[in-house]
Structure 1
Amino acid sequence: MVGSIAAGALPAAAVPSVPSVPATDREIAFTVDGTVTYGTLHLPAHRRGRQMPAVLLLPGSGPTDRNGDQPPALTPHTLAKLAEALGRDGAVSLRFDKYGTGRTGLGAYAEHPETIDYPAFVRQADAAYRLLASQPEVDRRAVRLIGHSEGALTALQVAVTAESRAAGVGLLQPLAQRFLDVLARQLHDQLAAAVAAGQLSRQEQRTVGHAVDRAIADLRAHRPPDTTGMPPALAALFQALGGPNQRYVETIDALDPASVALRLPPRTPALLTCGTIDQQIPCHTTTRLATALERAHTHGPGRIVLSGVAHDLTDPANPDVLAPATLDAVHRFMRHGVR
């Protein structure tokens, strides 16, 4: 207040101008478990010396890189677009190439990729969270996590165990059930759609559906999945899940997202979104997770249903940009709890 009064008493020409720093992307690297992880720190335009809120962005499943892409086939730029939107809101963001993607690659796991498990990804994200909080431009009391799809579970895991309490956790179209339960539902939905399109008979649907359930049970019993009766592509999927990816699958499937959410510190600001046309994570599958957030006494905005929004957070009529409903939900989340 004293500084404001003094400045107001001076002639306009005598008030020193505050230098402005333009928006920029800074390449960043950190080491965890013997692997150098590479990422992008996005800094919005800001006054020099100002400390800003920040967000760690966590990608979905599979080989999804720091930008939310699986090149060359899938390049929606989901996380890159989120970083730009957060920057317009005045927030720093960090996104990184998780194991098996981008410049990071498999790192220390390259010689034995079958040994990587889900906790390794959580440790990688936790190291990124601590690095983000340590940046000179960041207000370490205002660091949040936003995870998309499978990344939402990682965001929950980090928020539960972080030594420096997270200022909020955003779950965008999240993995809301156990990993193999989600996979089984998606496959059964695809079988039903194939029947509706005349591509499968009801008997073929039952046969393949039983094979899917049997293979899921095998994976959970630590047995090689029986792929008898499956189409070749589906058999190859389960052989990969029970082969080089077995350790990862078993360790992530052991986690129930709702149970993890119950461990969040009380009063943590939380956002959960679901899209009405999201075929991968339908809204009804997020109800138990939304209830868990309430039982954990988190604060709003809570669950927000995004009308006409798909899994990649866009409106299919305009897929080159994030849907306005998505941007509004993220903006509400970033403003919640701000003093």
Structure 2
Amino acid sequence: MNTTKPYSLLDLAIIREDFDAKDAYIRSLQIAQHAEKLGYSRMWLAEHHNMANVGSSSPQILIGYLANGTSTIRLGSGGIMLPNHSPLIIAEQFGTLATLYPNRIDLGLGRAPGTDQTTATALRRGRHESVQEFPSDLDDLRRYFSEDNMDSKVRAFPAEGLDVPIYLLGSSMSSAVLASEKGLPYAFASHFAPAYLINASRYYRENFQPSAHLAKPYFISCVNVIAADTDEEAHYFATSFYQTALGIIRGRSYPMKKPVKSMDNIWNEAEAAAIQNMMACTFIGTKESLKPQFESFFKQVEVDELMVSTNIYDTEKRLKSLEITAEVLG
């Protein structure tokens, strides 16, 4: 199946049971190097906090680490949760990355805290900004990258004048509205919040206002993909992912667990149903069984790029999943 669409990768530097964060970072580098060879166009890291299974609390640092170990694949944030940060600091950090690794750095931005409210308060000590200030923070950030900011009393070095593509992330209609108004590429988090995917994508396309940075809409959908040599094996690997999702529902955080033969004694019917709804944009199977799943998805949603999240416990099996996915989408 040749979709002629770019395909890319989302990573959270997953920390596994019986392993530590250093292992997660080394594994992310292995993933980035393998994805580069397989033709993935970019790899993004997501900012999350106070989560025992997520090592990407500082995407800015990991981006530099991965960029140093690769040569062509684009790397970026998917995303930086801007309410947690000063726009000036983000401009300086990504300006530094773009200077060191020209034409390879993306800046994806979200308005959520990427954590619980208590942790969000700890992250923003001494700051009073909230998600309501996100549009103005976004404008400030874009200005810091612009050459038109030269006469300002506050300038972002070395960001000023650099071409660092900014993407807006979201999972709601409000993010679709903002992305269309600002003329920005839009990445939708359908891998965990698919409810508004179709409506948001349609609104974005129909109401897109061209900007100096983007002439026409560019829509990315992120989905979960777990691929293996057999359907049975793929569904077995998926149980690690289900256990992580179950922890989110129960308000518990723990490293990614090993796969299990059955989830029956781990979740109840209500939890299983909730997770299935949350993971509606999850594709599990072999090269042969994945093709019709993707074909059906592309008939429902017009996407310019498909971003995949592949959460599998075993490293070699995860690399294999990326290979199969690339074969299907390439």
Instruction: Give the TM-score taking structure 2 as reference length.
Output: 0.35
Q: Which has the higher contact order (CA 8 A, sep 6+)?
A: 2
Higher helix proportion (structure 1 or 2)? 2
Larger radius of gyration between Structure 1 and Structure 2: 1
Structure showing the higher strand proportion among its residues? 1
